[in-house]
Structure 1
Amino acid sequence: MVANVKSAPLVRRISLCADDYGISPGVNRGIRDLIERGRLNATSVMVVGPAAGGDEVAALQAAIAKAARCAVGLHVTLSAPFRPLTMHFRPLDGGMFLSFSKLLRAGLFRLLDVEIVQAELVVQLAAFREKFGRNPDFVDGHQHVQLYPQVRDAFLAAVKQEAPSAWIRQAGRTLPLTTRLASPKAFFLDALSAQFRRRASAANITFNPGFAGAYDFSRKPDFGALMQRFLDQLPEGGVIMCHPGFVDETLIGFDPLTVQRESEYAYLAGEDFPRLLAANKVTLS
């Protein structure tokens, strides 16, 4: 008589990516701590950020050396208050990139020069190589600029040319329409991502199958409840973006997202987070 043995439940593998490494020393410190604790398995670096110098890069590499596995990507940055690395980038606003809303509008109305944008992205990829001694594992975008019309063409061309083995981040969700409509911000990213995925597929560039992490930062919600919702909607191999860190003067000067970063850090560093992963049969891999 043969025993009836049940197969073990499948474990869903996902990436939890902390954006904005390089935006401030406090954010960097929080991200490194979570990497060392095994609470993150990806982070993306703003090479134009004020805290992306040699010491901060070395500290990140030391943290990664203590972790089981952590991917490092380039966080392409094309919006204010940051400044371009190329001399002839246009359009600018007082020497800085346009705000993300103005950049999106310029792309929608076909007012951008794709070659100029691509040249900036090539230089940002080269800056990543200079800092880390290799190409990024993946490439995404600050404020999702990689999805914007015209920018996406420059983005895909630059990645294909300079980092062909890297995967790229799309921000579309695999959910029913009625569920997607409940979050206007996430639904807007769904719409932009549909075209982005089609063009990435045509260029034979790999991208993540699912995405989560968008929410209204101004409302300061319970991040643990949000994380459960993010896990509910994420397929195998999907990506959750997060923004943990500590508030400091540099961050306050560069980004309006401040105290919610500390809330995210506190949840991810606490003991409820690994219990949530285990309950949902999810691993960071």
Structure 2
Amino acid sequence: MTAPFKSSLTPFVMCADDYGLTPEISAGILELARQECITATSVMSLSPHWADWALPLRELQPLVDVGLHLDWTSSFAVEKGFGTSLPVLMALSTLRLLRLSTIERAVEQQLDLFETHFKAPPDHVDGHQHIHQFPVIRDVLMRVLSRRYDTQDRPWIRIARVAERPASMKAQVINAMGANALEALAVKYGFAHSHYLTGVYNFHGHAELYLQHLHHWLARMPQGTVLMCHPAQGPCGHAPFPQARLWEQEVLRGQPFQALLHSTQTTLVRGSELFRRPDNLNQ
């Protein structure tokens, strides 16, 4: 068992979401991984692009954790026959109207697609639009993961508990949809997990404003935090908030971001390094 993480700097995980959604998003994430500007990425395995973009990501395994971005709301999920819009899914899950067998098949299918092309289990699991911690979905997800993976292969779980105070309405909704409940399930089933999430904003603005957001998030970040980001290397018009992806890419690959890490006394680490350690497990 590894020794506890020791540093005078605050460690955190920088996770780029939506790998596989479009080629431009995947290319941008690969660039940031090669430059060691991120330490994790989450894959949309239902995407038809995933098969083509899995190989270059496998080659970067020493640099980043690669996880499953569990999906229920994208066009890919809708085409598979189970997906629906975010508001409808929130209502169905809250009212406990989702079929357990449908959830189980959807989770297994996405894990199968991930492993088929990546040739390894996911390092972590989170959710597109945080659906992995919604009522009913979270229970089935944790049962499937517990059954499917031995202790040594178990992914760490991203808990979407937004750290900012005072929390925006968006952050309050994310937290209310199951952060505490998912963390309790992770503890129950013996899964390592993060504690907080940051990086939540309305995707409005420009590069300079995003840099200001980063300063705010990093300066106030508690231990055990994942900072999510959504970069892209070029125009990806059919993806959500395409312009924000461009300025995130610009900022994260630039020197000002590195200077910001220094000034806020923070450091990038992989979640498999941070959350699997004995001082972080099941807290």
CA positional deviation for 1:199: 2.4
How far apart, CA to CA, are the structure 2 residues paired with 1:220 and 1:194? Answer: 33
Q: Answer yes or no: is 1:78 the counterpart of 2:72.
A: yes
In the other structure, the counterpart of 1:224 is 211
In the other structure, the counterpart of 1:47 is 45
In the other structure, the counterpart of 1:241 is 228
1:239-284 Cα offsets, whole Å, 9 max, x none, are 1000000344xx433x322010001000001100011001111111
In the other structure, the counterpart of 2:58 is 61
CA positional deviation for 1:219: 5.0
How far apart, CA to CA, are the structure 2 residues paired with 1:9 and 1:44? Answer: 26
1:131–1:9 CA distance, 2 compared to 1 (3 A): closer
In the other structure, the counterpart of 2:172 is 187
Percent identity between the two aligned chains: 28
In the other structure, the counterpart of 2:272 is none
1:19–1:174 CA distance, 2 compared to 1 (3 A): closer
How far apart, CA to CA, are the structure 2 residues paired with 1:188 and 1:79? Answer: 17
1:44–1:258 CA distance, 2 compared to 1 (3 A): same
Match of 2:190 among 198, 204, 207: 204
Match of 1:107 among 72, 87, 93: 93
What amino acid is the match of 1:102? V
What amino acid is the match of 2:15? C
Q: Answer yes or no: is 1:154 the counterpart of 2:152.
A: no
How far apart, CA to CA, are the structure 2 residues paired with 1:144 and 1:156? Answer: 15
How far apart, CA to CA, are the structure 2 residues paired with 1:238 and 1:277? Answer: 14
In the other structure, the counterpart of 2:273 is none
What amino acid is the match of 1:242? C
**Two-structure CA RMSD over aligned residues (Å):** 2.1
CA positional deviation for 1:159: 1.7
TM-score by length of 1: 0.84
How far apart, CA to CA, are the structure 1 residues paired with 2:163 and 2:201? Answer: 16
In the other structure, the counterpart of 1:277 is 261
How far apart, CA to CA, are the structure 2 residues paired with 1:151 and 1:252? Answer: 30
How far apart, CA to CA, are the structure 2 residues paired with 1:73 and 1:111? Answer: 28
In the other structure, the counterpart of 2:156 is 167
1:37-87 Cα offsets, whole Å, 9 max, x none, are 11011001111113212x31112223x16xx6211101111113123697x
How far apart, CA to CA, are the structure 1 residues paired with 2:204 and 2:48? Answer: 24
Q: Which has the larger radius of gyration?
A: 1
What amino acid is the match of 1:245? A
In the other structure, the counterpart of 1:3 is none
In the other structure, the counterpart of 1:121 is 107
In the other structure, the counterpart of 2:18 is 20
1:271–1:220 CA distance, 2 compared to 1 (3 A): closer
Match of 1:10 among 8, 11, 31: 8
Match of 1:138 among 124, 130, 150: 124
Kept in 1: contact 2:230–2:248 (CA 8 A): yes
TM-score by length of 2: 0.85
Q: Answer yes or no: is 1:252 the counterpart of 2:233.
A: no
How far apart, CA to CA, are the structure 1 residues paired with 2:42 and 2:148? Answer: 17
Counting matched residue pairs gives 259
Kept in 1: contact 2:70–2:127 (CA 8 A): yes
1:60–1:180 CA distance, 2 compared to 1 (3 A): same
1:48–1:9 CA distance, 2 compared to 1 (3 A): closer
Kept in 1: contact 2:78–2:84 (CA 8 A): no
Q: Mean alpha-carbon deviation: is it higher for 69-78 or for 258-267?
A: 69-78
Kept in 2: contact 1:85–1:123 (CA 8 A): no
CA positional deviation for 1:204: 2.2
Gaps of 5+ in 2: 1-5, 270-283
1:106–1:60 CA distance, 2 compared to 1 (3 A): same
How far apart, CA to CA, are the structure 1 residues paired with 2:260 and 2:215? Answer: 7
How far apart, CA to CA, are the structure 2 residues paired with 1:85 and 1:166? Answer: 27
What amino acid is the match of 1:81? S
